[in-house]
A = this chain, B = another copy of it.
Amino acid sequence: MDTKTKAGAGALPLNTILDGDCIDEMRKLPDCSVDLVFADPPYNLQLKGHLHRPDNSRVDAVDDAWDSFASFQTYDQFTRAWLAEARRVLKPNGAIWVIGSYHNVFRLGAALQDLQFWILNDVVWRKTNPMPNFRGKRLTNAHETLIWASKEEASRYTFNYEALKELNDGVQMRSDWVLPICTGHEREKDENGEKAHPTQKPQSLLHRVMIATSNPGDVVLDPFFGTGTTGAVAKMLGRDYIGIERDADYRRVAETRLARIRKYDKAALEVTRPKRAEPRVPFGQLVERGMLRPGEVLTSLNGRHAAKVRADGTLVADDVKGSIHKVGAALEGAPSCNGWTYWCFKRDGQTVPIDLLRQQIRAEMQ
């Protein structure tokens, strides 16, 4: 087992599966210690014929209003208890994903909001191959819902926008994800060759979740670990995981599964970075380095405006002086303006944005 602990975070049981109830086990973890929680809690499907109280005694009359209300209450209590622990364990800039169906997802979402999580998106997992509706009494239940929320409104959560855009062929990723359910070789089997877990999630779903909202080296906690899809994808993608699972059979399947997994190589884990993360280049440096001369005239992208470069890296146009951004915004009457892509200069008879010069400097900095 490639267990280790994270320096400075107490004693995090990284890359292990904790044996026990998720609320009890989370209580043992320190505050503000994990980056991401992924949770696939029980769906509360047992509401139909057989209703059980917390002590496992059976509720008889299902059409009784009081009983029915009580069952939602019980589910809500459980939900709010584990969500509160998950929130405590999350770092201030951490985030959570929960997944559910119409049976439980409204309870989950309302609980998240009441506990001061801040919902960022709800995401629809649209199944390419759902179970048909055999009786023709309802619509084919062809999707499940994920909720992505940060610990609090002010959290500076992780979102790898550019990587997701790449995953989606260059257009920004939407809130509806089309992915097949988990079948075939990917589906974990028990000793009898039967499916080991009734609701195993596809690795593709977790892959997208982790690429989108975590970075290599992050700690991912799954309080309902099951057969370990979260751990498997975390390990492949170079994240650390903590699993909690109280069922010994599921734990055994997950241990075997995780032992087989290999991490992808480092280059493969690199994803497209945002421009914000690239080193800042002051406009003045272009002037200092002689790429633009003081007195040279820049023109706006739309050709309607012109401004003169000054020796200190500011621009002057008519009665406006200031940074490339400020002058551009003023001339356009706009609240803001990205001067790098707005202002152009002449090179070889062509008019090109000054951002080209910044890219040259950045390339030299590599």
Contacts and interface: CB of A to CB of B under 8 A. Distances in A.
Interface of A: 52, 56, 62-63, 65, 68-69, 72, 101-103, 105-110, 112-114, 116, 119-124, 126, 128-130, 132-133, 136-143, 145, 147-148, 153-154, 159-164, 166-170, 172-176, 178-180, 186, 202-204, 207-208, 211-212, 236-237, 264-265, 267-272, 274, 280, 282-285, 287-290, 293-296, 308-314, 316, 321-323, 332, 334-337, 364-365
A294 B268 contact: yes
A192 to B, nearest CB: 23
Given A56-B334, A102-B121, A130-B174, 19 more contacts: A102-B147, A106-B108, A106-B112, A107-B110, A124-B176, A126-B176, A139-B148, A160-B312, A163-B312, A167-B285, A167-B313, A202-B289, A203-B290, A264-B293, A264-B294, A264-B295, A269-B294, A270-B310, A270-B316
Given A121-B141, A142-B175, A173-B140, A295 B282 contact: no
Given A169-B280, A295-B264, A312-B211, A124 B124 contact: yes
Contacts of A271: 310-312, 314
A208 B288 contact: yes
A159 B138 CA distance: 7
